[in-house]
Amino acid sequence: MTTTTYLSCAQTSKIVRASLKESFPGVKFSVKSSTYSGGASITVRWIDGPTSKQVDAVIGHLSGSYFDGMIDYKGSVHHMTTTADGFAKVSMGADFIHTAREYSDAAIERAIGAVFRRFAGNFERDGLACPTVEDYRAGRLWNLRLSGLHDWNGRNTQHLVDEAMHKHSFFGLNVRKSATAARYWITHDDGYSMAHGSGHTVAPRD
């Protein structure tokens, strides 16, 4: 009978920290674990550096659960890991890993400049100057809509700047593969969520 190793949330946090350090050398991450009635989670924060998509690609598979909002259901995700003897089942200690990327003034200014250059004609036609970092921080760009540009969904200049930041990494980022993260992989989930279903199958390993 195969036994399962149960990791605590703190132990899972150490795996997350090591994985991030290996994949994004030079980027400072805040990794905080939280336990509560019925579960535990990890919150990862950083400034500039990699995109949320890049970070999720490294540590997203280390979550022990998933949530299906369509049926208000929290399901289990099953993992395996490498050992000295081969492979073993492991239960990750955090139900969810939340990522939150923040931005420096320099990153915001760079994104604003990219938007202003891309839509220079629209700004000129509307008689608008290039927005400032202070405008962005104060939320004044939420009400700034360029004529002839925004669709019926109400996308505004704040959205354009956010998109410019979210899609790009900043300042000479060097991304590497994490040997620590690669030691853990998903085999399957509990199969109760039709929406989630195919998202957790046996993951390819490096």
Q: What is the pLDDT of residue 15?
A: 98
Clarify whether residues 52 and 90 are in a common domain: yes
For residue 56, what are its two tokens? 């999720």
Give the tens place of pLDDT for each residue, 119-130: 999 999 999 999
Task: Quickly state the pLDDT bin for 84 (edges 50, 70, 90).
Answer: confident
Please state, in angstroms and as integers, the Cα–Cα distance from residue 48 to each residue in 121, 150, 166, 167, 197, following that order: 29, 27, 9, 11, 33
pLDDT band at 38 (very low <50, low <70, confident <90, very high): confident
Residue type, 126: D
Note down the domain range covering 130: 105-166
The answer as to whether 52 is a domain residue is yes
**For residue 197, is pLDDT > 80?**
no
pLDDT digits (tens, 9 = 90+) for 137-195: 999 999 998 887 755 455 789 999 999 988 877 656 778 999 999 999 999 999 886 55
Residues 153 and 180 in one domain: no
Q: How many domains does the chain have?
A: 2
Token pair listed for 145? 């809509």
Tell me: do 56 and 154 sit in the same domain: no
**Together in a domain, 68 and 146:** no
Element (H, E) at 77: strand 73-83
For residue 154, being part of any structural domain is answered with yes
pLDDT band at 205 (very low <50, low <70, confident <90, very high): very low
Q: Are residues 81 and 135 part of one domain? A: no
pLDDT for the residue 121: 93
Q: Mean pLDDT across the stretch 59-83?
A: 93
DSSP alpha helix (H) spans, the chain? 9-23, 52-59, 105-118, 120-125, 133-137, 157-166, 179-182
pLDDT for residue 203 is more than 50: no
